[in-house]
A and B are shown apart, each in its own frame.
Chain A
């Protein structure tokens, strides 16, 4: 198989995973002005819970639902118990979320150990697709891209076509005005926190099926979420998509052609964006 095409497809697969994780991070950041540095932990938590559930029940779908639900619950609890209490004190929220990420990472290490896990993928998806010019490619990875596209469309519909989405978009623009207008912004915040957690958790299960899960992945996905948001702009769906695509492709091309300096590429992109457009490629206003 053509190496260039393979690297490209792998980059797209990775970008899909980054998109699923970073979108929630970006939306909650834009909405609540708080950096949830425990976001990567919910990704890994979702993956681990999904592994355990799918091992016990033998059903991948139940595993994905379980992982998503566990991460959503964790994210919601963190928001309701800790972050909502310090509404407006963004640095304190960030510090509290760092503390939670430390605790959760250590507890996950205690519960699931330091092994690398691989979730048994659904057999319907586990076959090789023949893409005529380049040869065979795992359909599982293609379906990861499909999942990200479906998630993006659903999110876009939610944000643009529904009343709740309108509230979220207004909240990203100016949450204090939205609050003054009588919108129950705290419920919107809670919903966004749970949604972000659920997406991260499902991404964890998907990544566990397509690639693998191991301790340390939480910080890796946190870093990628940070970079995606820095590159794409805060609180924007399209920004998260562009950022994830760039970061995923750069990472795979870097690993293939500059194996010991691949991080430098992502880093250079981040520096360039910060120097030219400090608010990210898609600016700072508006969602979608």
Chain B
């Protein structure tokens, strides 16, 4: 029953997203909707890793950045860098490069969990940022690489309704694939790694390999986001992979609720709304303070993010029932005295 309800909700959400451009002003379509979809993809890859390998990786922004940089460098760009391949060749090549990079990061982080993983992936992500900023021959240095208006078959597509549908199609296909993965033996094994690597290891699975596989799958999601973001902004610069972007991706994932990749799109929507309306809201330029405070509030108040707040009543009653149950058990144990300890 749960599955059919989820399916119904998913189809309703897809339907809503498909008819959405009919109701949106151009500003909302480009500034809010498209940007939410792109940022959501990158943040979804972070939640994906959290769910399927139990690692909080802060390198996902740099994976998206590597995809953007690879495409900008290999494909047509405005700054005469790279071989200038056509889009048809450059897009798959960019994918391969960023997924390999993601796998390499996953290999380095595979032996770690929790804060150690967070520390290593943050160090890797920040190093890529400093490299991109200081290197001119590949990364275009401080100014990055500008690609002009990307064209396919002579048509610019990084604008308006066609680009929205491109992003939406990629998001929907990714979500369907992730939902499908959940049902496969590989998906189950990855879920097991995410919830308890030790027990999965004891069951004979090779946790290290599974973590690298999860990293590469997450890398594919982040690369989609990175490529879409490159087309959206028509350029990539180090700022897009700097610390504030790394933290931004984390905030998007945590705002939405980090336990499910799809929540990231809710988080991205809220983040983009804030980004656009914070100046009216805070009456100043202190956007980062506002975002940081909201992030802090979410971390302090609701570990499950905004999506956690939405489902709170149901989980709350469950948790309450569990507390009652524990209390009853404890009372019984006290009454039973020392004899019941062995049970």
Residues of A participating in the B interface, judged by any CB pair closer than 8 Å: 29, 33-35, 37, 82, 90-96, 98-103, 105-107, 110, 219-220, 222-223, 226-227, 229-230, 259-264, 266-267, 270-271, 274-275, 278
Given the known inter-chain contacts A33-B115, A99-B292, A106-B288, please indicate yes or no for A223 contacting B130, CB distance below 8 A: yes
Q: Are B118 and A91 in contact (CB under 8 A)?
A: yes
Given that A100-B292, A103-B296 are contacting pairs, would A263 and B130 also be in contact in the complex, using a CB cutoff of 8 Å? yes
Give chain A residues whose Cβ lies under 8 Å from the Cβ of B136.
260
Query: Shortest CB–CB separation between residue B160 and chain A, in angstroms?
Result: 33
- Encode contact with A along B279-298: 1 for CB under 8 Å, 0 otherwise: 00000001111011101100
Q: What secondary structure prevails in chain B residues at the interface with A? A: helix
Which of B123, B134, B254, B291 meets A230, CB within 8 Å?
B123
Q: Given A94-B118, A226-B119, A260-B137, is A266 in contact with B291 using a C-beta cutoff of 8 Å?
A: no
B139: nearest chain-A partner, CB-CB: A260
CB distance from A284 to the nearest CB of B (A): 10
* Stretch of B32-40, B178-186, B243-251, B335-343 that contacts chain A: B243-251
**Interface of B toward A, CB cutoff 8 Å:** 56, 108, 111-112, 114-115, 118-120, 122-124, 126-127, 130-131, 134-137, 242-244, 247, 250, 254, 286-289, 291-293, 295-296, 299-300, 303
- Supposing A230-B123, A260-B134, A274-B120 touch, asked if A35 and B115 sit within 8 A by C-beta, the answer is yes
Contact A267 B303 (CB under 8 A): no
Chain B nearest CB from A222 CB (Å) reads 8
List residues of chain B with CB within 8 A of the CB of A222: 126
Contacts of A34 in B (CB 8 A): 115
Q: How far is the CB of A259 from chain B (nearest CB, A)?
A: 7
Q: With a CB–CB cut-off of 8 A, which chain A residues contact B303?
A: 92
24 pairs of residues in contact across A and B, judged by CB atoms under 8 Å: A29-B115, A37-B122, A90-B115, A94-B115, A96-B296, A96-B299, A98-B247, A103-B288, A103-B293, A103-B296, A106-B287, A106-B288, A106-B292, A107-B286, A110-B286, A220-B130, A223-B130, A261-B135, A263-B131, A264-B131, A267-B131, A270-B127, A278-B111, A278-B112
Is the beta-carbon distance between A227 and B123 smaller than 8 angstroms?
A: yes
Given the complex of chains A and B, what is the CA–CA distance between A275 and B122 in angstroms? 17
Distance of A167 from chain B, by nearest CB (Å): 22
CB pair A91–B122 under 8 Å, yes or no, is: no
User: In the complex, A230 Cα to B244 Cα: how many Å?
Assistant: 22
Q: With both chains docked as a complex, state the minimum distance between the C-beta of B33 and any C-beta of chain A, in angstroms.
A: 26
Please measure, in the bound complex, the distance between the C-alpha atom of A82 and the C-alpha atom of B299, giving whole angstroms: 11
**Nearest A residue (CB) for B135:** A260
Name the distance in Å between B245's Cβ and chain A's nearest Cβ: 12
**Which residues of the partner chain A approach B288 to less than 8 Å between Cβ atoms?**
102-103, 105-106
Q: Is the interface of A mostly helix, strand, loop or mixed?
A: helix
Interfacial chain B residues near A278, Cβ < 8 Å: 111-112
Q: Determine the distance from Cα of A9 to Cα of B120 in the docked complex, in whole angstroms.
A: 29
Given that A102-B244, A261-B131, A263-B131 are contacting pairs, would A95 and B119 also be in contact in the complex, using a CB cutoff of 8 Å? no
**For residue A98, which residue of chain B has the nearest CB?**
B247
**Nearest Cβ in chain B — how far from A261, in angstroms?**
6
Chain A residues whose C-beta falls within 8 Å of the C-beta of B134 in the assembled complex:
259-263
Inside 8 A of B292's CB, which chain A residues have their CB? 99-103, 106
How long is the Cα–Cα vector from A261 to B79 in the complex, in angstroms? 20
Evaluate contact between A103 and B119: CB separation under 8 angstroms.
no
Measured between beta carbons, the chain B residues less than 8 angstroms from A106 are: 286-289, 292
The closest CB in chain B to the CB of A218 belongs to B243
Instruction: Give Cα distance in the complex from A148 to B123, angstroms.
Output: 24
In the complex, what distance in Å separates the CA atom of A96 from the CA atom of B118?
Answer: 13
Add 8 more A-B contacts to A102-B292, A103-B292 (CB < 8 A): A98-B247, A106-B286, A107-B289, A219-B126, A219-B242, A220-B130, A223-B127, A271-B108
Chain B residue numbers with a CB within 8 Å of A220 are: 130
How many angstroms between the C-alpha atoms of A80 and B173 in the bound complex?
46
User: Which A residues touch B247, using CB under 8 A?
Assistant: 98, 102
Residue of A nearest to B285 (CB): A110
CA distance A82 to B111 in the complex (A): 29
Contact of B118 among A35, A110, A259, A261 (CB under 8 A): A35
Bound state CA distance, A34 and B127, in angstroms? 22
CA–CA, A101 and B289, complex, Å: 10
Contacts of A105 in B (CB 8 A): 288
- Residues from chain A with a CB closer than 8 A to the CB of B299 are 92, 95-96, 99
Kindly report which residue of chain B lies nearest to residue A96, judged by CB atoms: B299
Q: Which of A102, A110, A223, A263 contacts B295 (CB 8 A)?
A: A102
The answer to whether A226 and B122 have CB atoms under 8 Å apart is yes
Q: Is the CB of A103 within 8 A of B118?
A: no
Chain B residues whose CB sits within 8 angstroms of the CB of A229 once the complex forms = 119
Q: Which residue of B lies closest to A284 (CB)?
A: B116
Contacts of B300 in A (CB 8 A): 82, 96
Say yes or no: A100-B119 contact (C-beta < 8 A), given A263-B134, A267-B127: no
CA distance A29 to B119 in the complex (A): 11
Complex alpha-carbon distance, A101 and B299, angstroms: 14
Asked whether B127 lies within 8 Å of A274 as measured between CB atoms, the reply is: no
